[in-house]
Amino acid sequence: MKIKNQLPFLLAILIVSVGCKEVDDSPSKPSTLRNVFENAFYIGAALNFNQINATDSVVTSLIGREFSSITAENIMKSMNIHPQRDTFNFGEADKFVALGEEYDMFIHGHTLIWHSQLSNWFREIEDSTEFAMATEKHVRDIVTRYKGRIHSWDVVNEALNEDGTLRESIFLKKMGEDYLASSFKWASEIDPETDLYYNDYNMTNLKKREGAIRMVKHIMDQGIKVDGIGMQGHWHLNYPSLEEIEQSILDYAELGVKVAITELDISVLPNPRDLQGAEISQNFENNERLNPYKEGLPDSIQVKLANRYRDIFKVFLKHKDKISRVTFWGVNDGQSWLNGFPVRGRTNYPLLFDREFKPKAAYDTIIALKKRFDSELSSN
């Protein structure tokens, strides 16, 4: 590799390492994400179809080495795992769980109730009572299948509008707001030991944050178990602010629940119309201005990305007692959904591993940050 290509890595390490004491690596504990963060929180990744099927042994080995938790990117969503009313497709989900067990990982299920990527047969049910019964069976059957094997679930995904009110989803229209509490109740009755989460994007925004807190508190006030709130970290180089991220963690933790950063990626590309979040129904037309790094990421942006990850992980480490899991939404840049959202056909660089599964400057930066954090703790 040419020295020029190493520049972002060297710069990023230098930025976080100034003033850092030496920390010796144990020969039995190489400096992987999994090992370095093992005393802080689970470090996870969302896996795609090929990764779950272990089509590349080198990639599979990297996943097992670097991550202590996994989430299925798509194969456990309704349209894939329950395509027909009387037909479940458990094959891929079984492989996903088996992979996690093989590498002794924390296994997270995504997702039981979501209005998007919903099986068409749900929409064909007109009677509200029949719809509620079908929804209950969907939840109970899937949780039963993986009882004792999946350690946590996104029970309900993206049920809120940006102003904190409930989204007019098919579940709200057919079942009323009771569908929220009922979904958590059904899952907890089947597997009382699994952790149950509410998961959503833009959870750092004040109005949505307040709505999420009201909603979760309302469920808990009924004596129904909610173990955690998932903050989807679909963030950018400049926003949300670190203050918004930190205050959100504090506010959710005040409920007495765990906080998970569930879908972390940092877009480096221009954002059309200041779009925030992950509303997948939105798409914009591609153009040169919105896709500036087709040939590769400039060193200056590589360093900005590393610094952004460093600053965010400083917040995470400061509040590691409140955070259960940090999950990247993908393993490498080529896999990222941000290559197609909110503009199709772009080239984005939001994760810690590049398109060849090589660690980027951001990877080295947060490893160095965690070592410095541990060194400072041990010296106090």
State the catalytic residues: 158, 263
Q: Is 47 helix (H, G, I), strand (E, B) or coil?
A: strand
- Residue positions counted in the chain: 380
Plot region of 130 (φ>0 → left; ψ -120 to 50 → alpha; else → beta): alpha
- DSSP-assigned states of every residue in 320-376: TTTEEEEEESSSBGGG-GGGTSSBTT-----SSB-TTS-B-HHHHHHHHHHHHHHHH
Q: Which residue stretches of 225-334 are H helix?
A: 242-253, 299-318
Task: Determine which helix (DSSP H) or strand (DSSP E) holds 234, and give its type and residue range.
Answer: strand 234-236
How far apart are the C-alpha atoms of 366 and 13, rounded to whole Å?
9
How far apart are the C-alpha atoms of 353 and 334, rounded to whole Å?
9
CA angle 111, 280, 238 (to 5 degrees): 105
How far apart are the C-alpha atoms of 176 and 22, rounded to whole Å?
57
Residue that is written with structure tokens 């660690």 in the block? 359
Contact call for residues 263 and 232 (beta carbons, < 8 A): yes
Q: What amino acid occupies position 233?
A: G
- DSSP-assigned states of every residue in 116-165: TT--HHHHT---HHHHHHHHHHHHHHHHHHTTTT--EEEEEE--B-TTSS
Task: Determine which helix (DSSP H) or strand (DSSP E) holds 16, and give its type and residue range.
Answer: helix 3-17
Q: Is 262 helix (H, G, I), strand (E, B) or coil?
A: strand
Closest to 156 (Cα-Cα) out of 175, 148, 145: 175
